[in-house]
């Protein structure tokens, strides 16, 4: 099957093509078009034209809402097909794509459709002898660059917000996982959205990055991916100064206090690192356990980790799939070897699965390191795989100090029976999101995003939508008889 790219309302059969791989088997599942330099140019100019001269930024909010609802429904209509495709392309268990990725993608469009009018409402402020109207406008052309771990979901978060705000878009999925996003193009075409409003191209980042992010016709770049690539994008975008959202990497800490419900903390922590094969920006890849319960936590955690069933994501019994690629698995192996050399204690996993049925895929065993110290690379660097390190702390102050001891500041999870203490720690921890006695719940209503090397800007919620708008201040004189002092400043 061949997946076309989508420019100016049409599917384009590109000259360049690439194979798309199923990471569970290493087999080719489809071919996707790869945009050339000219096709990237065309995508940008189509989005520009659609914004400057097209109907989209000028239609009523009610009509805009209607289009978003149609996209949401289109995703739901194809939910089963999309879930299967997402699992085939990413390897994630079908339970995750069926119950998380696909319905959440549809729900985000529905949420912003139903709330855009309220969120974009203008505000009036009475000033001294003047009135200010604060008006939310779309930025214009927005480039959306998304990673491979949640290909459709992250694309839909960005797309729903960008469109709800009235922008036009060039969307670029990761070339490892372009399929569901290219399928989304069919849904979008079916809604009758004006041509050029959404353009979806597939290309590798090194070829397309500078073309997309430095271009003068692009007003905003919303990026989710690694901190390393994020820094490059900030560099490209600085050439013509653009509004940016950067959702980057993480090395988040799950803190287990001695008064936590241990079973809850163990089960939640398993999910917080092994869901999606640990390939989550918010993965709690560092677990900090209080010394009183450290040994008990570790033995319960490792015992359950060993029972998580590795396999092909299409099998409903599978609880963890393969890593996204051979290269990603090699990167994970490098981190594991380094951790061992630096003295971390390997408690389970740490190697490629030796199950003969999984030989062809990019599987890696669930890996737990204990006695990890802050100076070790496994404590500091993002692995992006099913590898967790556990460290010990002796009081709440030390927990905060350890949690804050990396360059990242994306998320944390605190497990405790004392909610007042947990709230206090949450206020001291350097992270954009803190979960207390839960993990990883993303709500369309609640903004999400990191600090420090984890990036800046918010996605979701009212604040997320407003990132995709610019705020205009229109000041009108209100002096009696319209005689503002400025008219007499020079005494004329
Ligand atoms: P990546 O940075 O390698 O790639 C992300 C996207 O950027 C892809 O579409 C890729 O093609 C593109 N890209 C690569 N080089 C580029 C360049 N020079 N210019 C422009 N675009 C370029 O990340 P990945 O490996 O796809 O995803 C994993 C990373 O994403 C992890 O670091 C993870 O923490 C992060 N992530 C962050 C969040 C968040 O919300 N903070 C969410 C998911 C993933």
Distances from the Cα of 288 to the Cα of 178, 269, 291, 386, 432, angstroms: 36, 11, 9, 17, 18
Q: Are strands 286-290 and 387-393 parallel, antiparallel or unpaired?
A: parallel
Q: Which of helix, strand or coil describes residue 339?
A: helix
* 145 Cβ closer than 6 Å to some ligand 1 atom: yes
Q: How far is the CA of 225 from the centre of ligand 1 (A)?
A: 2
| Closest atom, ligand 1, to C-alpha of 172 | 9
pLDDT of residue 492: 86
Q: Which of helix, strand or coil describes residue 470?
A: strand
* 5 Cβ closer than 6 Å to some ligand 1 atom: no
* 449 Cβ closer than 6 Å to some ligand 1 atom: no
Distance CA 57, CA 49 (A): 11
pLDDT of residue 487: 86
Q: Clarify whether 247 is annotated catalytic.
A: yes
Q: How far is the CA of 146 from the centre of ligand 1 (A)?
A: 6
Q: How far is the CA of 213 from the centre of ligand 1 (A)?
A: 14
* 233 Cβ closer than 6 Å to some ligand 1 atom: yes
Atom 26 (ligand 1) nearest CA: 147
Distance CA 54, CA 56 (A): 6
pLDDT of residue 70: 98
Q: How far is the CA of 64 from the centre of ligand 1 (A)?
A: 29
Q: Which of helix, strand or coil describes residue 101?
A: helix
For residue 96, what are the contacts with CB-CB under 8 A and spacing of at least 6? 87, 275, 276, 313
* 226 Cβ closer than 6 Å to some ligand 1 atom: yes
Atom 31 (ligand 1) nearest CA: 226
Beta carbons of 93 and 87 less than 8 angstroms apart: yes
| Closest atom, ligand 1, to C-alpha of 384 | 31
Distance CA 294, CA 257 (A): 9
**Contacts for 323-326: CB closer than 8 Å, 24+ residues apart:** 323/23, 323/91, 323/277, 323/279, 323/362, 323/363, 323/364, 323/385, 324/23, 324/90, 324/91, 324/148, 324/149, 324/176, 324/177, 324/277, 324/279, 324/362, 325/21, 325/23, 325/176, 325/362, 326/26, 326/362
Sheet with 27-34, side-by-side order of all strands: 2-3, 27-34, 16-22
* 209 Cβ closer than 6 Å to some ligand 1 atom: yes
Q: Which of 13, 30, 12 is nearest to 21 (CA)?
A: 30
* 178 Cβ closer than 6 Å to some ligand 1 atom: no
* 382 Cβ closer than 6 Å to some ligand 1 atom: yes
Q: To which H or E segment does residue 346 belong?
A: strand 345-348
* 229 Cβ closer than 6 Å to some ligand 1 atom: yes
For residue 138, what are the contacts with CB-CB under 8 A and spacing of at least 6? 51, 57, 165, 166, 167, 468, 469, 470
- Range 173-186 burial, b when 16+ CB lie within 10 A, else e: bbbbbbbbbbbbbe
Tokens of 36: 């050339």
Query: What number of residues does the chain have?
Result: 492
Atom 35 (ligand 1) nearest CA: 225
Q: Which of 39, 247, 365, 382 is catalytic?
A: 247
* 250 Cβ closer than 6 Å to some ligand 1 atom: yes
| Closest atom, ligand 1, to C-alpha of 236 | 19
Question: Mutation test of ligand 1: which of 158, 206, 226 has the most ligand atoms closer than 8 Å to its C-beta?
Answer: 226
| Closest atom, ligand 1, to C-alpha of 455 | 41
Q: How far is the CA of 174 from the centre of ligand 1 (A)?
A: 8
Distance CA 34, CA 13 (A): 9
- Range 358-394 burial, b when 16+ CB lie within 10 A, else e: beebbbbbbbbbbebeeebebbebbbbbbbbbbbbbe
| Closest atom, ligand 1, to C-alpha of 410 | 41
Model pTM score: 0.97
Q: Which residue has the tokens 């399928």?
A: 183
Q: How far is the CA of 478 from the centre of ligand 1 (A)?
A: 50
Q: How far is the CA of 470 from the centre of ligand 1 (A)?
A: 25
Beta carbons of 127 and 458 less than 8 angstroms apart: no
CA 205 to chain centre: 16
pLDDT of residue 223: 98
Atom 43 (ligand 1) nearest CA: 281
Q: Which residue has the tokens 């070829």?
A: 207
**What average pLDDT values come out for the chain (492 residues) when binned by 10 residues?**
96 96 98 97 98 95 98 98 98 98 98 98 96 98 98 98 98 98 98 98 93 98 97 97 97 98 97 97 97 98 98 97 98 98 97 95 98 97 98 97 98 97 98 95 94 98 98 95 86 86
Which value, in Å, is the radius of gyration of the alpha carbons in the chain?
24
* 206 Cβ closer than 6 Å to some ligand 1 atom: yes
Q: How far is the CA of 282 from the centre of ligand 1 (A)?
A: 14
Q: How far is the CA of 206 from the centre of ligand 1 (A)?
A: 12
Tokens of 305: 């980790």
Q: Clarify whether 271 is annotated catalytic.
A: no
* 246 Cβ closer than 6 Å to some ligand 1 atom: no
Tokens of 82: 């999309």
Q: Which of 281, 389, 412, 434 is catalytic?
A: 281
> Which stretches of 306-460 are DSSP H helices?
326-341, 377-380, 396-403, 419-428
* 384 Cβ closer than 6 Å to some ligand 1 atom: yes
Beta carbons of 267 and 422 less than 8 angstroms apart: no
* 175 Cβ closer than 6 Å to some ligand 1 atom: yes
Please spell the DSSP secondary structure of 28-48, one letter per residue. EEEEEEE--HHHHHHHHHHHH
Distance CA 311, CA 318 (A): 5
């Amino acid at each position: 099957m061949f997946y076309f790219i989508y420019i100016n309302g049409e599917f384009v059969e590109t000259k360049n093509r690439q194979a798309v791989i199923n990471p569970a088997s290493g087999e080719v599942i489809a071919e996707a078009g790869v945009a050339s330099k000219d096709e990237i140019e065309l995508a940008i100019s189509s989005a520009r034209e659609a914004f400057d001269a097209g109907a989209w930024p000028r239609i009523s909010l009610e009509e805009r809402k209607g289009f978003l609802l149609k996209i949401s429904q289109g995703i739901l209509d194809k939910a089963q097909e999309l879930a299967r495709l997402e699992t085939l392309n990413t390897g994630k268990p079908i339970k995750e794509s069926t119950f998380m990725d696909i319905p959440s993608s549809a729900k985000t469009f529905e949420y912003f459709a139903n709330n855009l009018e309220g969120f974009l409402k203008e505000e009036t402020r009475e000033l001294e002898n003047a009135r200010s109207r604060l008006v939310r406008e779309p930025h214009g052309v927005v480039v959306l660059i998304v990673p491979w771990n949640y290909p459709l979901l992250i694309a839909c978060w960005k797309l729903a917000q960008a469109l709800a705000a009235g922008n036009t878009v060039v969307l670029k999925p990761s070339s490892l996982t372009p399929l569901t996003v290219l399928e989304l193009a069919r849904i979008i075409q079916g809604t009758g959205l004006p041509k050029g409003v959404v353009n979806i191209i597939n290309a590798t980042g090194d070829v397309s990055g500078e073309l997309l992010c430095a271009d003068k016709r692009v007003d905003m770049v919303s990026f989710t991916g690694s901190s390393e690539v994020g820094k490059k994008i900030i560099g490209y975008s600085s050439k013509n100064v653009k509004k940016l959202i950067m959702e980057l990497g993480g090395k988040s800490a799950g803190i287990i206090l001695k008064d936590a419900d241990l079973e809850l903390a163990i089960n939640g922590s398993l999910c917080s690192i092994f869901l999606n094969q640990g390939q989550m920006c918010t993965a709690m890849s560092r677990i900090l356990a209080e010394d009183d319960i450290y040994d008990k936590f570790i033995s319960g955690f490792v015992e359950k980790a060993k029972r998580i069933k590795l396999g092909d994501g299409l099998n409903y019994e599978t609880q963890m799939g393969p890593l996204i690629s051979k290269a990603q698995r090699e990167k994970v192996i490098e981190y594991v070897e380094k951790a061992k050399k630096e003295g971390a204690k390997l408690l389970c996993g740490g190697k490629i699965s030796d199950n003969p049925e999984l030989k062809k895929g990019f599987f890696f065993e669930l890996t737990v390191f204990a006695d990890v110290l802050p100076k070790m690379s496994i404590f500091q660097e993002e692995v992006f795989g099913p590898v967790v390190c556990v460290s010990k702390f002796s009081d709440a102050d030390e927990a905060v100090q350890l949690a804050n001891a990396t360059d990242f500041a994306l998320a944390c999870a605190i497990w405790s029976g004392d909610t007042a203490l947990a709230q206090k720690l949450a206020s001291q921890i350097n992270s954009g999101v803190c979960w207390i006695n839960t993990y990883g719940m993303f709500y369309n209503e609640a903004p999400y995003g990191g600090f420090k090397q984890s990036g800046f800007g918010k996605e979701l919620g009212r604040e997320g939508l407003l990132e995709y708008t610019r705020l205009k201040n229109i000041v009108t004189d209100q002096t009696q008889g319209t005689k503002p002092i400025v008219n007499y400043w020079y005494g004329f």
